[in-house]
């Protein structure tokens, strides 16, 4: 009898709009599935055989328990991208940073509580390139009875953007790792798993979004692509942006949304055209001379009652190098900063950091050119450890990492000027140590090594405020005078402009080891990554919990 009641409660809890549940159970079976996209059949790694994977629904303050069972031959781990994981770093997910991978045949229960967050986030695999097909949405509803700070939509729709390779993605990155050159770009972008009808594969339908005239829809847009920032547009309609990375923003209208891998955007769409069929487009944004998949993914917005003979009204995506469109969107983002949702920007700074982010070239005798492309932060190309950094930190295991990550470039140079002749980097598993509650100002400075490029930098375990942004080299004397310390946007992933810089601030109020990396997977693979280690504060509420018993072993 009790067992049946437990099962009923668990099932009911999958419908959070109907019942209140403080604990939500999910089961993720990692399995292979054959699929046909772009008219080619291939097996892909999925969760529960679904692509994109299942949406995780929860309410603010809920505890989420996800049992991940690995039925495939790859090691796996899942990251709950943007979830703060207060004191529960063990459930964060990046392989060899906070846990050893879940090996074939094994399982692990991710156990975390959602505190002080509501909105849209995403989950994805955080090992190798498996997140190409292993991803899905996280929808965090406000506490029961608390309304959105914007008009309640009639319906909500998850829109996950992705990237598709005809080949096996692990073969793509393995080939590149062997040659030392850049990996092949993808063959298509996708909207909810579909490249859309306008592609060189006529048999494919696309994602269809049915709407009724006069109604309002909340689009929960997620960029789960591996390597490309995307523009998102709907023919004939404006979107009202109300939230990014699960933080509310001051609403603003835009016909184009810019979204980097790892970012999320909630936007209201009013179906105010009465009838017809309208093209939805996701296209790349790259404003540097690097190879890019230039395919546009399409879907259809379909008004009820539209005749089947009606042609779809098309939209023209911005050119892929449309920096002004991207900049206008980025500059429109402001925290809501209301009484209920204040922007708690740190006003004092304990650690004033400048990190250069970019690429380099190191010798490699077995590589095609005798050299290998690498990524680095402050000239350190990160070397992955053999056991997780969080375990090494918690159990005080030595010789896994050092805590001497340079807070500033060791050699200062004109970062965005003429390319230096020496493109070499050094290797290391170096972390930057922060005392609990210390405040950080971090300037992320793009370099022109190889090519200036827009890097979406993601910090685990924290939200940060984006207080400033500019082109060229950051000027520590004049640029801080223009910082926005009142209502800067709060997020977990920020695009550093090509040949420019972005300044962020955060408070180190979460003990543990927290990964920071470029969310272009190709750059992460190349070593554009590092981690912060945040010490415990005072008392149990400021102390990292002990590891769960089923934490995977290496
Ligand atoms: C996928 O298709 C191949 C070839 O048709 C088949 O051998 C394999 O069993 C299928 N795998 C799955 C998981 O369905
Ligand atoms: C989840 O973690 C909490 C501590 O944060 C613990 O009290 C609870 O027992 C855990 N639940 C499971 C099912 O492991
Ligand atoms: C990468 O692209 C090249 C050139 O198109 C092709 O020959 C190669 O097979 C591709 N590699 C993979 C793993 O798909
Ligand atoms: C897209 O890229 C391919 C290969 O790089 C190129 O041949 C093609 O001309 C490009 N198309 C557009 C519209 O830029
Ligand atoms: C490496 O080789 C490729 C093709 O062989 C060439 O296009 C490229 O310029 C070379 N890159 C470097 C950094 O030497
Ligand atoms: C850096 O180089 C650029 C391009 O050559 C130049 O315009 C700029 O003035 C230089 N900046 C500094 C601080 O030297
Ligand atoms: C980076 O490190 C390499 C290897 O130690 C060194 O040769 C190079 O000068 C360094 N470059 C910078 C910009 O610090
Ligand atoms: C951290 O800050 C909170 C207030 O924000 C304070 O209550 C707590 O004592 C501080 N802890 C430490 C270790 O400074
Ligand atoms: C720890 O946090 C809980 C929940 O926020 C609170 O009820 C409790 O008083 C705190 N304990 C201490 C020692 O600060
Ligand atoms: C899976 O992870 C374990 C533990 O780190 C490692 O020993 C093993 O080589 C990995 N397996 C594969 C196929 O990468
Ligand atoms: Cu990058």
Q: Are the C-beta atoms of 313 and 237 separated by less than 8 Å?
A: no
| Residue in 446, 440, 439 with CA at minimum distance from that of residue 496 | 446
| Residue in 83, 67, 75 with CA at minimum distance from that of residue 514 | 83
Task: Name all residues whose Cβ lies below 6 A of ligand 6.
Answer: 414, 417-418, 473
pLDDT, one tens digit per residue, over 338-393 is 999 999 999 999 999 999 999 999 999 999 999 999 999 999 999 999 999 999 99
Structural domain boundaries in the chain: 2-141, 155-331, 351-542
Give mean pLDDT, residues 255-278.
Answer: 97
Ligand 8, atom 4: nearest CA belongs to which residue?
A: 437
| Ligand at shortest distance from the CA of 77 | 10
Ligand 10, atom 7: nearest CA belongs to which residue?
A: 554
Ligand 3, atom 3: nearest CA belongs to which residue?
A: 184
Question: Alpha-carbon distance 155 to 145, whole Å?
Answer: 17
Look at the domain 2-141 and name its fold: Immunoglobulin-like (2.60.40)
pLDDT at 6 over 70: no
| Ligand at shortest distance from the CA of 542 | 8
For residue 114 the two structure tokens come to: 């959602």
Atom number, ligand 7, closest to the C-alpha of residue 379: 1
Question: Alpha-carbon distance 374 to 66, whole Å?
Answer: 35
- Can you give the pLDDT at residue 11? 67
Look at the domain 155-331 and name its fold: Immunoglobulin-like (2.60.40)
Give the Å distance between the CA of 111 and the centre of ligand 2.
Answer: 6
Ligand 5 lined by 331 (C-beta under 6 Å):
no
| Residue in 261, 421, 423, 401 with CA at minimum distance from that of residue 356 | 423
pLDDT, one tens digit per residue, over 54-109 is 999 999 999 999 999 999 999 999 999 999 999 999 999 999 999 999 999 999 99
| Ligand at shortest distance from the CA of 113 | 2
Ligand 1 lined by 73 (C-beta under 6 Å):
no
One fold for 155-331 and 351-542: yes
- Can you give the pLDDT at residue 205? 75
Ligand 6, atom 5: nearest CA belongs to which residue?
A: 417
pLDDT, one tens digit per residue, over 39-55 is 778 999 999 999 999 99
| Residue in 153, 161, 325, 135 with CA at minimum distance from that of residue 230 | 161
Ligand 8 lined by 537 (C-beta under 6 Å):
yes
Ligand 10 lined by 107 (C-beta under 6 Å):
no
Residue 47 exposure: Cα atoms within 13 Å on the Cβ side: 26
Pocket test for ligand 5, best of 360, 364, 369 (most atoms within 8 A of CB): 369
Burial class for 460, CB neighbours closer than 10 Å (0-12, 13-18, 19+): buried
pLDDT, one tens digit per residue, over 512-542 is 999 999 999 999 999 999 999 999 999 999 9
In sequence order, which residues have a C-beta less than 8 Å from that of residue 342 and are 6 or more positions away?
Answer: none
Cross-strand bridge partners of residue 468: 503
Bridging pattern class, strands 380-382 and 490-491: unpaired
Indicate the helix (H) or strand (E) that contains 156.
strand 155-164
Ligand 10, atom 1: nearest CA belongs to which residue?
A: 75
Longest dimension (CA), the chain: 74
Pocket test for ligand 9, best of 539, 541, 545 (most atoms within 8 A of CB): 541
Q: Given pLDDT bands bounded at 50, 70 and 90, which one contains residue 291?
A: very high
pLDDT, one tens digit per residue, over 311-326 is 999 999 999 999 999 9
Instruction: Characterize 155-177 residue by residue with b for buried, 16 or more Cβ atoms within 10 angstroms of its Cβ, and e for exposed.
Output: eebbbbbbbbbeeebeebbeebe
Give mean pLDDT, residues 272-284.
Answer: 96
Q: What does the DSSP assignment read for 45-86?
A: EEETTBSS-PPEEEETT-EEEEEEEE-SSS-B-EEEET---T
pLDDT, one tens digit per residue, over 411-422 is 999 999 988 999
Look at the domain 351-542 and name its fold: Immunoglobulin-like (2.60.40)
Task: Provide the whole-model pTM.
Answer: 0.95
Ligand 8, atom 12: nearest CA belongs to which residue?
A: 537
């Amino acid at each position: 009898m009790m067992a049946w009641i437990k099962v009923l409660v668990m099932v009911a809890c999958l419908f959070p709009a109907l019942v209140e549940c403080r604990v939500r159970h999910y089961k993720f079976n990692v399995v292979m599935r054959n699929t046909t996209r772009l008219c080619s059949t291939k097996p892909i790694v999925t969760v529960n055989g679904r692509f994109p994977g299942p949406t995780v629904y929860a309410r603010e303050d809920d505890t989420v328990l996800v049992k991940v069972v690995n039925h495939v031959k790859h090691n796996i781990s899942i990251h709950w991208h943007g979830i703060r994981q207060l004191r529960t770093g063990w459930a964060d997910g990046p392989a060899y940073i906070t846990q050893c991978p879940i090996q074939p045949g094994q399982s692990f229960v991710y156990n975390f509580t959602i505190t002080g967050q509501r909105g849209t986030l995403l989950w994805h695999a955080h090992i190798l390139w498996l997140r190409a097909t292993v991803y899905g949405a996280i929808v965090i509803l406000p506490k029961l009875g608390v309304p959105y700070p914007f008009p309640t939509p009639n319906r909500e729709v998850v829109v996950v953007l992705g990237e598709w390779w005809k080949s096996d993605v692990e073969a793509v990155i393995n080939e590149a790792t062997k040659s030392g050159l850049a990996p092949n770009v993808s063959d298509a972008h996708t909207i909810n798993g579909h490249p859309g009808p306008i592609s060189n594969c006529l048999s494919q339908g696309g994602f269809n979004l049915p709407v009724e005239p006069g109604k309002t829809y909340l689009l929960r847009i997620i960029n789960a692509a591996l390597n490309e920032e995307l523009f998102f547009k709907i023919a004939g309609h404006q979107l009202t942006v109300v939230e990014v990375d699960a933080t509310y923003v001051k609403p603003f209208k835009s016909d184009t949304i810019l979204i980097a891998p790892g970012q999320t955007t909630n936007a209201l769409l009013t179906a105010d055209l009465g009838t017809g069929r309208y093209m939805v487009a996701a296209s790349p944004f790259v404003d540097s001379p690097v190879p890019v998949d230039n395919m546009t993914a399409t879907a259809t917005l379909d008004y009820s009652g539209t005749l089947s003979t009606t042609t779809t009204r098309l939209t023209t995506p911005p050119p892929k190098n449309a920096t002004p469109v991207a900049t206008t969107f980025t500059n429109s983002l402001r925290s809501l900063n209301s009484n209920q949702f204040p922007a708690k920007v740190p006003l004092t700074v304990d650690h004033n950091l400048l990190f250069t982010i970019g690429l380099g070239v190191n010798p490699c005798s077995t590589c095609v050119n005798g050299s290998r492309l690498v990524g680095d932060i402050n000239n350190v190309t990160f070397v992955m450890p053999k056991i997780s950094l969080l375990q090494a930190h918690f159990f005080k295991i030595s010789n896994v990492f050092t805590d001497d990550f340079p807070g500033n470039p060791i050699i200062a140079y004109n970062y965005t000027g003429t390319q230096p002749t020496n493109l070499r980097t050094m290797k290391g598993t170096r972390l930057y140590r922060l005392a609990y509650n210390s405040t950080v100002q971090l300037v992320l400075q793009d370099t022109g090594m190889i090519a200036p490029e827009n890097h979406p930098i993601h910090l685990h375990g924290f939200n940060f405020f984006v207080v400033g942004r500019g082109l060229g080299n950051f000027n520590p004397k004049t640029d801080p005078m223009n910082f926005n310390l009142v209502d800067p946007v709060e997020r977990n992933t920020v695009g550093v402009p090509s040949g420019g810089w972005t300044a962020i601030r955060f408070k180190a109020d979460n003990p543990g080891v927290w990964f920071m990396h470029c969310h272009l997977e190709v750059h992460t693979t190349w070593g554009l990554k590092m981690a912060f280690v945040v010490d415990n504060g005072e008392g149990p509420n400021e102390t990292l919990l002990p590891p769960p018993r089923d934490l995977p072993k290496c």
